[in-house]
Amino acid sequence: MSNSVPAPVVILFVLFCALPIVRDAAATSVHKNEQTGLLTWRSGGAGFSVEFIQVLPDYVRAVFGKHQFPKAELERIAGYCVFGSILKNTSQQRLSYRVADWYCTDRNGIKHPVKTKTQWLQEWRKAGIKFSWLLLPDSHDFEVGDWQQGFTTVMQPRNAHFDFTYTWKLDGVEQAATIKDMSCPPEALQ
């Protein structure tokens, strides 16, 4: 009698351990605000919905300026592509996300990370700023019906178009989706 594991069990084990991340499990729609021309990308599937809303640099300056940010810091954050973000657990299961796993891919195929809230806060503390609101939290564990919002930032040129990949876990199973052809907010309204 052999001590080897039957071939079907080995195959099932290999398949189970090598399961890929579920990719592009989300449908995306783009909406244009008729008054401002600003765009919103809505994407949802596999229990997670996200919205990314273009935020003008002047709005970013005004919001952070209200909290006494130094001019240099206002210009630095306004130089990023900033999106208002709304995340929702639309499933009947636990869900989690981690911004450090998100990235955009530019037209040259180069991946650029999303800057996390923790990264911003570390830089702001060095500049003497003790403010921690407005930015999307780095990660969150959602119960059924939970949601989260805040600014998401990526460093891209003002006229850049890119694909935005975000990930989440639904009951511990990693999911990923890519929003094609997102664009940075314009410098000002047309």
Six-digit token pair at 62?
Answer: 């005004």
Greater model confidence, 102 or 8: 102
pTM of the model: 0.85
Q: Is the pLDDT of residue 7 over 80?
A: no
pLDDT for residue 2:
42
Greater model confidence, 107 or 45: 107
Name residue 167's amino acid. T
d(CA 19, CA 101): 18
Distances (CA, A) of 27 to 67, 83, 84, 91: 37, 19, 19, 15
d(CA 60, CA 53): 13
Name residue 63's amino acid. V
Six-digit token pair at 178?
Answer: 């890519």
Torsion angle defined by CA atoms of residues 51, 130, 62 and 66, in that order, rounded to the nearest 10 degrees: 130
Q: Is the pLDDT of residue 13 over 50?
A: no
**Going by CATH, does the domain composed of 25-183 fall within 2.60.40?**
yes
Q: For tokens 């594991």, what's the residue?
A: 5
